[in-house]
A and B are shown apart, each in its own frame.
Chain A
Amino acid sequence: MTKALIDVKAGEKVDIFSINAGFKAHNFLADLGIHEGEKVRVVKNDYGPIILEVKNTRVAIGRGLAQKILVK
């Protein structure tokens, strides 16, 4: 079952299924290790950008972008 990253609660660990972002954003995410098939943990998701934990790094991602990332 897939849902948007923005709907994932803090503390949950999910698999990235697809990223529907623009070319630049998609590439930048890939360079940070955020790509299809990667496991990420949502550290914070309330107001403001979402914070993900990926490869032991915290990365903040704008909410608009988080809507375009589908996870399992």
Chain B
Amino acid sequence: MHSSDDQGRFRNIRKKKRLKKRKGKKYYSSKNHSIEHVIGFLGNPNVGKSSLFNELTGSHQHIGNWPGKTVEKKEGHFILADEYFSVIDLPGTYSLSGRSDEEIITEEFIVQERPDLVCVIADAMRLERTLYLALQAFELTDKVAIIVNMIDVAEKHNLEISRKKLASLLGVPVILVSALRDSSLIELKKFIYDAIHTDKYDFHPAKILYSSKIEAIIRKISEQIADRKVLKEYPVRWIAIKLLEGDNWTRSELSKEFDLETLLKTLEEIKEKESINPKVEIAKTKYSGLHTIVTQSVKGDLEFKETISDKIDKIVLHPIFGYPILILIYALFFFISFSISSPIIEGMSYLLNLFAEYIRSLMIQSSSPEIITSFVVDGIIAGISAFLLFLPLIIIFYTLVAIMEDSGYLARSAYLMDRFMNKFGLQGTAFLSIVMGFGCNAAGILATRIIKNPKDRIRMIVSLSFIPCAATLGVIAFITGIFFEPWKASLIMLGLYAFSIFLTLISSSILRLFMEKEEPLPLILEMPEYRKPILKNIYYLTWSRAGVFVKKAGTFIFSASIFIWILSNLPYGVSPEFTILGYLGKVFSFITYPLMGLSWEMIAPLVFGFAAKETIIVALGVIYASGDLKTVLLNLWSLPQVISFLLFQLTYAPCFATIAAVKSETNSYKWSLFSILWPLFLTTLITTIVYQILRLIV
């Protein structure tokens, strides 16, 4: 044990270090604040943790990734009494007992970064369920405070929560707040300040005692590992409980130092003999402890009542009506995203074109070499434009997704799709990543994090590039618009969409055949109550996802545009046919023409598509330079060729940004390469079959 003096010194050193580490990054600067505190926000999903975090830190937020992990790290700060409070919004989780990335991060943060305070956010209406996490946090650290949120809802239901009683039973400070009340915010800041600074509050977290059998094993393990050199920062009791729960990580860490064989053997024997599952026993004990605490500190009727959400669900989740509603909502969703964004994109495209031509004329006037002018205008500016033009749709699309998520409908759509997705060896939650993928495949890949089984997740990641993203839709709309009457064009578009969803699921099923089967994790999903979406939440949710696109895809689209300029303009001054790209197209067409009727002029633009799919049309325009593109295509392409082109471009390969997302999420070059070759193979196969049949008929 440190003396209090020691600890104080240690803290100060730590603080200085922290400030030093963050120096130079303008965002983190706490220049005028010599003292910095670190607060962790911990809580279940759907307890309003992010709302509180947003309210508390306002616009002072920074979203990054936890080092080495794909989990988002949200950091913000507030300032009170000239002191700097850095708040870390830890990933929402139901427990700290599994070993998902989210849980590892949280545990490491608490133990290694030693925050000044860990705030556990609980829901006033669901105290038992949401305080479970607090009891787990107690086993890691003493510095825990409880924020009971949504106290307004509890008051509406005539629930009387005694703050004092709760605090004394739990042994840590408790505050009752509502994210909707302004007064709560000031109280909360003061509460955090006081908890760190004053001795107004006690920190003696309630210790949960398990059954005598379990306690005996905990004692035995604790004795054996008391002098450990590994996992030194972790409390010994916590490690013992983890081992008992069957956690692989603590086991492998400890076996570096100890021979755990005999210990684990006795553990197994006890489990067998007593037929107990320690993990479940431990959870049960915690819950029964909480039950006592909550019944003693809450007055009012906690009995089941049918809520408004239940009533809405009777219709929305109805076995028959639920599906037309689902289709209607998603149809509306796509209609709104495309109908709002297309005039914006057209306007922007017009302006960007004007700008590009203006720069071109300026450069010609100042007699700069033609090749430089082309590089600047057709390479750099075109690259930036391609990126900017994609933003409106992405932002509107993810705003709508955030509205659906915040309102509670997204969970319902996963529910409704579960049975259907099961047929392809997936859970309903996988449907959500498909929805996200329609906006941008890269963002869809990030959304697969909701899929808990690692292998299911990889299957979904590499299958997602079969989903046409918003940019691909632009290509489909343009081509079908040339060759078909409007109603036929819409039908073909719908057909292609349905086909791509089908391909995605089939791809996932095929891959499943080749993957080692693991224990299937059935759907277990909380259905949050419906609520009016909160503007701030929508804003931050949208921004965190659009931000992914901006950061990842932005740089990719830009550098790829330059790369493509080089391919399509060198050697400089020759017609497209004799550029590097032209030759590449011709080489490919030796295969693609006989199989799928795709000539070099049709293939070359698809190389552009690797960079960003929206450039395919531009590339077609460059290659068929003679006259109006629409009339030229109408004269040159036969019907089987049109269909073949539509089918092939729909799913032939992911774009660079998507490949980058696959790499960062799977952390494997093998899977990244596979995510290119697999769609290419399957698409070629299907397009060839369709084209050959069409050629016989037409």
Contacts and interface: CB of A to CB of B under 8 A. Distances in A.
Contact of A65 (B95, B314, B524, B529): B524
Interface in B650-689: none
Contacts of B416: 48
Nearest to A32: B94
A48 B128 contact: no
Given A44-B317, A53-B304, A56-B129, A62 B283 contact: no
B49 to A, nearest CB: 15
Contacts of B526: 32, 57-60
Identify the interface centre among B428, B522, B525: most chain A CB within 10 Å of its CB: B522
A32 B283 CA distance: 9
A36 B522 contact: no
Nearest to B245: A27
Interface residues of A, number: 39
A54 B524 CA distance: 13
A65 B521 CA distance: 9
Contacts, number: 127
A64 B418 CA distance: 11
Nearest to B313: A44
B279 interface: yes
Interface in A2-43: 13, 21-33, 35-38, 41, 43
A32 B525 CA distance: 10
Most chain B Cβ neighbours within 10 Å, of A22, A44, A62? A62
Nearest to A50: B523
Nearest to B128: A55
B525 A60 contact: yes
A51 interface: yes
A35 B287 contact: yes
B23 interface: no
B278 to A, nearest CB: 11
Contact of B519 (A23, A35, A64): A23
B132 interface: yes
Given A33-B128, A44-B313, 17 more contacts: A22-B521, A27-B98, A27-B279, A30-B283, A31-B94, A31-B283, A33-B132, A48-B415, A49-B428, A51-B317, A55-B128, A56-B128, A58-B526, A59-B526, A59-B527, A62-B418, A64-B522
Interface of B: 94-95, 97-98, 125-126, 128-129, 132, 245-246, 277, 279-280, 283-284, 287, 302, 304, 309-310, 313-314, 317, 319, 411, 415-416, 418-419, 422, 427-428, 452, 519-529
Q: Which 3 A-B pairs have the closest CB atoms?
A: A47-B319, A62-B522, A31-B95
Interface of A: 13, 21-33, 35-38, 41, 43-44, 46-49, 51, 53-65
